[in-house]
A and B are shown apart, each in its own frame.
Chain A
Amino acid sequence: MKLFDKKLVSEALKQSVVKLHPKFMVKNPVMFTVEIGTLVMLFVCIWILAGEQSQGSFTYNLIVFLVLLLTLLFANFAEAVAEARGKAQAESLRKTREETPAKLFQSGGIKIISSAELKKGDIFICDAGDIIALDGEIIEGIATIDESAITGESAPVIREAGGDKSSVTGGTKVLSDKIKVQVTVEPGESFLDKMISLVEGASRQKTPNEIALTILLAAFTLVFIIVCVTLKPFADYANTPITIAAYISLFVCLIPTTIGGLLSAIGIAGMDRALRANVITKSGKAVETAGDIDVLLLDKTGTITIGNRKATHFFPVAGYDSDKFIGNCVLSSLSDETPEGKSIVELAKLLGSKSNPADTLIKDARFIKFAAETRTSGIDLANGIRIRKGAFDAIKNISQKAGFVFPDETEKKVKDISSNGGTPLVVSENDKVIGVIELQDIIKPGISERFERLRKMGIKTVMVTGDNPLTAKFIAEKAGVDDFIAEAKPEDKMNYIKKEQAEGRLVAMMGDGTNDAPALAQADVGVAMNSGTQAAKEAGNMVDLDNDPTKLIEVVEIGKQLLITRGTLTTFSIANDVAKYFAIVPALFIAAIPALQGLNIMKLHSPESAILSAVIFNAIIIPVLIPLALRGVKYKPIGASALLQRNLLIYGIGGLLIPFAGIKLLDLAVGIFF
């Protein structure tokens, strides 16, 4: 989406006027004082029209009034445009799900009603081609579902009753089969609805950090109220009349209007950026907390490695024909539906194995499925040959029972594979060992760079896996994660989170299953996958529509960006004061104390033009910075001190110097008239 869409802008313009209502303004103490100042200027203008002489020309006062009004409008516009963008994003998601007919399942049969009439607990039925009316959980059936309306991902996904993939989202389309769905949310209370109301501001609460910053900004405002109020008796003592316009201008320029005006826009934009990344946040606080995360728990499968283990090598024992070995491996895996089994067949094909199993061989063959007792699987061919594959110790057992010596060569291979992070599958023919298949986890390309980036941010990554510690260690090292939990049970995750939290760290995790729910709730940032169970989604504080396990990394960056944008604009705003002082203070006193011309280091043309230039600069800097507030200041993982140095240089020193140039330039123009 473009930053300033035409439709958005016109809506935002309207809102910026509506938001002038003191009811809204009072929430932002900095801008509220500007509003009071603007009103005072309005009265001064009227007063001058009524014949008052001491306050300078009407035009000058009118311009000050208008510039202050603009300052307010700009600030409101920033907030309105951020809201409008967030709303537009959310609306486009919501559109898909409005007013879909739903087949309500009742005791008497099926009744077609509008989705808006569905209530929590209702059960409806979806056939192939139907749009799912509302968020819910499948209670019966299995179906392929097109979730592209929500995720943008065109590949259909499978959802089925029971288990961790039972959740369906309103607005998605059933492609095949039939499911019975129980509604899990009240209409208008789905995550998306919550998100929209957060963005719209109705239920938006200030985050703790925003509150702390508002306090600081209010303190700055108070300091300058004191400065300006006490200036009156000072000036009286020095016999220096100061116009009301000058007082108000000094005040408005000194208080941190730049950050005050952009503060809520920055917060909304943060949630909006999360939404753009297809993450629905339940509160603004969650986004902020994400920026503070110290520890990240990631599931190995799907996050660090691609799907499941794959066969990578065939190692026949010495003297056994390689092609024949591969052939036997394929035979033993033909009926093996596990991803590992399939990958053995695939690898054989890839190697161009000529030993395509003849149909005659398979005919009348008996397939032995994997059983927990034997921990092997295989095939009994019609010609009496028994092929088995399985874990090292299981096959070793079989072979030794049959009186064979387990070959040293194979034993060594098995160890090599294990210590390289692979899983060895030993293959036997009639109980005699004939070789080993190596299975390997495939680490996602580019994942170690992402972990490196996280490390630079100061975030510790932890891999959670069901693998044995040796394999887990190898993969952890190869992928570059800092720690791992091997042979993990759900409660291990929970315990790990609690342990880290007890040491004062903030933990984030992603999960989908119901058994993840307690850990999701315990974690400081819990991201539930949209495909996950309702329980998981309720427990977490974010929902990832893309079901992308690496999404946490983006969420962390969005959180950091949010804080950085606030911090840098605060610094910028405060640093601006130096130049503004040097513009306005001489202007206040020069008439009575000509010597103070020496303070006019910018050599501004006249007191009026100096004051006008300062307030105009103060006003236009707000819209100039709106794009930055909405996009966010870029986060670079270069270490905290280096980052502070960089941002201090750009926004601190920049904030010190830019207004000198800006006010001087404006003065060159304004000076022509005043």
Chain B
Amino acid sequence: MNSEITGVIVMFIITVLLAIPLGKYIADVFKGEKTILDFMAPVERFVYRICDIDITKEMNWKQHMLAMLAMNMLWFVYAFVMLISQGSLFLNPDGNPSMTPDLSFNTAISFMVNCNLQHYSGESGLTYLTQLAVITFLQFVSAATGIAALIVVFNAMREKVTDQLGNFFDIFTKTITRILLPISIIIAIILAFNGSPASFEGKDTITTLQGDTVQVSRGPAAGMIAIKHLGTNGGGWFGVNSAHPLENPNYFTNMVEMIAQVLIPLAMIFALGYFLNRKRLSWIIFGVMTAGMLTFLIPTMVSEINGNPAISEMGIDQRSGSMEGKEVRFGAAASAYWSIVTTIISTGSVNSMHDSSMPVSGAMQMLGMMTNAFYGGCGVGILNYYVFIIIAVFISGLMVGRTPEFLGRKIEAREMKIASIVALLHPFLILSGTALASWTIVNHPDANWSVHPSNWLNNPGYHGFSEMLYEFTSAAANNGSGFEGLGDNNIFWNITTGLVLIFGRFLPIIGPVAIAGILARKKYIPESSGTLRTDTATFGFMTYAVIMILAALAFFPALALGPLAEYFSLYN
């Protein structure tokens, strides 16, 4: 057991050690300082020239958001058309069919918004063309969208009073050429050398020890698996994601994928410190986020390592932990760690089946997505956290008798309105979505759809409720992991989660960018001894409390009916 826990700690420490220099590098890139990847400049210039982009033209926050939405719209249309017609296009050695319109709708949105909720299985649902030109492409650009939006906020946080916050296309392009592409290449090479497939050949046939023949899907997977983690996307090449032996062959690749998905979210925290020259602030943010992660991680690891009492009662040895739905090559501890990291960060890739996690773990995984601000996805994690900072600054500013201010700017009614809407949105999407699904199951169990609502759930009762709650939580948090056990490839789930995905993606990006943009135009107030410092442990604690009370408590009744009811029934 001990070595399993050590493995988790080592993974985390390596991530932090890599994230700090990467953070400095990212800050340098966007401050326009010399970096080792400056040789990419001609590539960027070529992109700007063929796209007719004048990068010297700076944009205000509205123009930034317009640019972002316009690009996303384009990608959505492109992805939708590709998916709905993939069956008759090239690079389809396995002869997989085209997607249904509702599934293409859901999949196109899901990958455009960096969520990667998958209502299909990669082996049979996609072709090599769409895996590469749609899925992998969107995994790059959606991650870059989040990071670029955060860089706009960084620009706005500077002391300068301005509404010129850089050029979105420039930031976006550099995010790909200077950050995502180079690191992905390194990870992809590591994965390929460890056994992840990187070929264009179709299914292979192998004979198992039992003598059966099995058709094994392959494809140019290694590169996609790299960006899937680095960009906190999470959508797997294969249906069972990183639990698949070709997607995540061994403990070493498990570490690499684990580190890859935490790397950029962590690096962005440190980048903030280097970019604004406020290193203390970034360490406090890192501290709060890590405390948040541990709040969810510790109960999960404890319950997974201790195993399932119901199985113990059957006389089955539980010394290696609760192993239902887990891969033996990773073990209980590393799987527990992955399950929390993938949910607090909006990756959503899995190396174990969350449906089989212990009830406490299920609750913690959902809380990870419900708070959605501890590390969080590429760029968007800090954007979510920023909204909570604004609320925490407001309340604690009042508590010290000063009109609240953050980084030298006064927080007033308009900013509070935006922050409130964004904070409200998340519980609204999750709870109303789950309410709609519950209502449909109770009142229209036999609705005349391809899958009757009464057949949605593999498990009735509390666990079934968790499955629905998890699905909407995952969609709203743009996470993409599934509790599975839910019949989700049908019109109800494809459409409802598709809509939740869009709202859950763009409002939480536009909100913080708008707040930061509005604040950047306000007068900069130098700090005095009466100013409440936001880079102290006390303020960090305040932010943590605001996140927990505002984001987590709203879900208490829902969690009580799902995982908590299950937990208390199990342990009685």
Contacts and interface: CB of A to CB of B under 8 A. Distances in A.
B424 A219 contact: yes
A291 interface: yes
Given A233-B442, A236-B439, A456 B529 contact: yes
Contacts of A560: 401-402
Contacts of B424: 219, 222-223, 226
A595 interface: yes
Nearest to B435: A230
Interface string A541-575: 00000000000000000011111101110110011
Contacts of A218: 420
A288 B410 CA distance: 14
Interface in A147-173: none
B550 to A, nearest CB: 7
A237 B442 contact: yes
B402 A641 contact: no
B569 interface: yes
Interface in A196-248: 208-209, 211-213, 215-216, 218-220, 222-224, 226-227, 229-238, 240
B506 interface: no
Nearest to B545: A652
Contacts of B531: 458, 640
A628 interface: no
Shortest Cβ-Cβ A-B pairs, 7 listed = A458-B530, A567-B398, A560-B401, A219-B420, A567-B399, A230-B435, A595-B568
B542 to A, nearest CB: 6
B79 interface: no
B495 interface: no
A424 to B, nearest CB: 38
Contacts of B165: none
A394 interface: no
Contacts of B542: 644, 648, 652
Contacts of A593: 561, 565, 569
Interface in A495-512: 503-505
A644 B532 contact: yes
B557 interface: yes
Contact of A635 (B401, B465, B541, B561): B401
Interface in B531-570: 531-533, 536, 538-539, 541-542, 545, 549-550, 553-554, 556-558, 560-561, 564-565, 567-569
B396 A581 contact: no
Contact-residue size bin, chain A (C-beta under 8 Å from the other chain): 35 or more
Contacts of B428: 223, 226
B438 A227 contact: no
B465 A641 contact: no
B395 interface: yes
A402 interface: no
Given A216-B420, A237-B441, A237-B465, A568 B538 contact: no
B403 A292 contact: yes
Given A216-B420, A227-B427, A585-B560, 10 more contacts: A216-B394, A223-B554, A235-B561, A291-B402, A294-B525, A562-B401, A567-B401, A574-B549, A599-B564, A644-B542
11 contacts: A216-B395, A218-B420, A226-B431, A230-B435, A232-B435, A236-B442, A458-B529, A504-B408, A641-B533, A641-B538, A648-B542
A588 interface: yes
Nearest to B414: A212
Contacts of B465: 234, 237-238
Which of B391, B532, B561, B568 counts the most chain A CB atoms within 10 A? B561
B400 A644 contact: yes
B557 A641 contact: no
A230 B434 contact: yes
A625 interface: no
Nearest to A237: B438
Given A212-B416, A219-B420, A648 B523 contact: no
Contacts of B442: 233, 236-237
Contacts of A577: 549, 553
Contacts of B459: none
B362 interface: no
A219 B532 CA distance: 24
Interface of B: 391, 394-403, 408, 411-413, 415-417, 420-421, 423-424, 427-428, 431-432, 434-436, 438-439, 441-443, 462, 465, 523-526, 528-533, 536, 538-539, 541-542, 545, 549-550, 553-554, 556-558, 560-561, 564-565, 567-569, 571-572
Given A294-B530, A571-B399, A645-B538, A227 B420 contact: no
B553 A563 contact: no
A460 B402 contact: no
Identify whether the interface residues of A are mostly helix, strand, loop, or mixed. Answer: helix
A211 B413 contact: yes
Contacts of A229: 435
Contacts of A575: 545, 549
B558 A234 contact: yes
A250 B432 CA distance: 18
Given A212-B412, A215-B417, A640-B531, A647 B400 contact: yes
A519 interface: no
A599 B566 CA distance: 12
A309 B554 CA distance: 66
A406 B311 CA distance: 109
B19 to A, nearest CB: 27
Contacts of A292: 402-403
A226 B432 contact: yes
B569 A215 contact: no
B553 A216 contact: no
A215 B413 contact: yes
Nearest to A236: B442
A457 B432 contact: no
B69 to A, nearest CB: 25
B443 to A, nearest CB: 8
B466 to A, nearest CB: 11
Contact of A457 (B411, B530, B549): B530
Contacts of A648: 396, 399, 538, 541-542
B400 A643 contact: yes
Which of B415, B435, B569 counts the most chain A CB atoms within 10 A? B435
A455 interface: yes
A661 interface: no
Interface string A633-647: 001000111011101
B557 A585 contact: yes
Contacts of B539: 641, 644
B560 A596 contact: yes
Contact of A641 (B415, B525, B532): B532
A589 interface: yes
Contacts of B556: 581, 585
B560 A644 contact: no
A459 interface: yes
Nearest to B542: A648
A503 B526 contact: yes
A597 interface: yes
Contact of A234 (B416, B434, B524, B525): B434
B560 A643 contact: no
A255 to B, nearest CB: 12
A221 B558 CA distance: 18
A314 B396 CA distance: 57
A219 B417 CA distance: 8
A446 interface: no
A227 B421 CA distance: 15
Interface string A400-442: 0000000000000000000000000000000000000000000
Contacts of A568: 398-399
Given A216-B391, A237-B441, A596-B560, A570 B528 contact: no
A235 B397 CA distance: 39
A593 B562 CA distance: 11
Nearest to B415: A212
B402 A640 contact: yes
Given A233-B435, A641-B536, A641-B538, A570 B530 contact: no
